Structure 1
Amino acid sequence: MLTFEEKLAIIESFPELERNDVSLRRVNFHYNDSSYDHKNVVYHLHPNGNGFVYAGKMTGFETNDKGMVNVRDFTEKELHEIIRNSILSLTSKKTEDSDEPTEEVWMNDNTVTLTVIQEEDLWNVYSEDGGLDGTFNSYKEATNYLEAEGFSRI
């Protein structure tokens, strides 16, 4: 199990998160650029090693009623990945006149992420390193492709 200090170092490596000390020496980290009302990414990280990460918009995690996953026994890699994906899941953007997002992140079972972005009249799918993976005429075509490749929305 990672120590409190090791967990803090991993979490603080994400410059987009803002630290908030709360009661009983616990620490929360907020993502203030969230596209949603939900801004808490890390909740009640405690010096005993217990803490939670928001995964309410992600698949593949067993969450509590607040959409949180207990990360007490996570490895460094697991903690880094769930925090990165939590931030990505809070970054989806939607236009005011449509239910379709203008940007959305998808992930497969191997935690590979792809981003769908509406650019002018096309929908482009980009890999984690920013490379173009595919171009589609509609949101539906792009999501059909992603689903067929084993990806789901996070």
Structure 2
Amino acid sequence: MLTFEEKVSIIEEFDELDKKEVSLGRLNFHFEESKYDKKIVVYRLHPNGNGFVYTGELEDYPTDQKGMTNIKDYEAEDLRAIIRQSIDSLAMTQAEKNPVMEEWLNQHDHALILMREDDGYNVYAEEQLEGTFNSYEEAVNFLEQEGFSRL
């Protein structure tokens, strides 16, 4: 298990993180360029070596209800990997992580384009916006009700 000082040294390798002192000698490391409200990558790193990394946008790590993964027993390379993945997950919007761009046609060969943009889905007829939806399912439902099918 890495010591507190070793963990701090590894975390400080990431120039995009800003160290913030919190109570009881603990440290947080913030990623100010986050595309989300979530900015803390390393949370409550304690002098006893316990601490957490935000992995709420990742699938490969066990998380608590706040999207945090405990890093108490992490080795150096594993710590570097989880921090890099956390930063990368906060550096891209959902549209960048999971892009959607689909063409839909109706029986008259009129085309609409379904695109994921920011945190929603937009339907376009050429460059004109036809609709904005909160989820992919809502957009698909609209297109199907209007008689369109995916190519």
TM-score scaled to structure 1, two decimals? 0.63
Contact preservation (8 Å) 1:91, 1:104: no
Pairwise mapping of residues 25-104 of structure 1 onto structure 2 (< 5 A)?
25-93=25-93, 101=95, 103-104=96-97
What per-residue deviation string (whole Å, max 9, x for no partner) do you get for residues 102-133 of structure 1? x328xxxxxxxxxx7x9xx9xxxxxxxxxxxx
* Residue correspondences, number: 104
2:5 corresponds to 1:5 = yes
What displacement does 1:91 show? Answer: 1.1
State the identity %.
Answer: 51
Q: CA RMSD in A?
A: 2.2
Give the 3-state SS of the residue equivalent to 1:5 in structure 2.
helix
Name 1:129's counterpart in structure 2: none
Per-residue deviation, residues 25-70 of structure 1 (Å, max 9, x unmatched)? 0000000000000000000000100000000000011101100000
Cross-structure match for 1:147: none
CA distance in 2 between partners of 1:139 and 1:73 (Å): 42
Structure 1 segments unaligned to the other structure (5+ residues) = 95-100, 106-115, 122-137, 141-154
Distance (Å, rounded) in 1 between the aligned partners of 2:115 and 2:79: 31
Whichever residue aligns with residue 91 of structure 2, its letter is T
Question: What is the alpha-carbon distance in structure 2 between the residues aligned to residue 2 and residue 93 of structure 1?
Answer: 33
Q: How does 1:129-140 map to 2 (within 5 A)?
A: none
1:6 counterpart SS class: helix
Equivalence map 1:121-132=2 (5 Å): none
**Amino acid in the other structure paired with 2:11:** I
CA distance in 2, matches of 1:15, 1:91: 14
Q: Which residue type is aligned with residue 19 of structure 1?
A: K
Q: Counterpart of 2:104? A: none
* Gapped regions of structure 2 (runs ≥ 5): 102-113, 117-151
1:76–1:33 Cα change, 3 Å: same
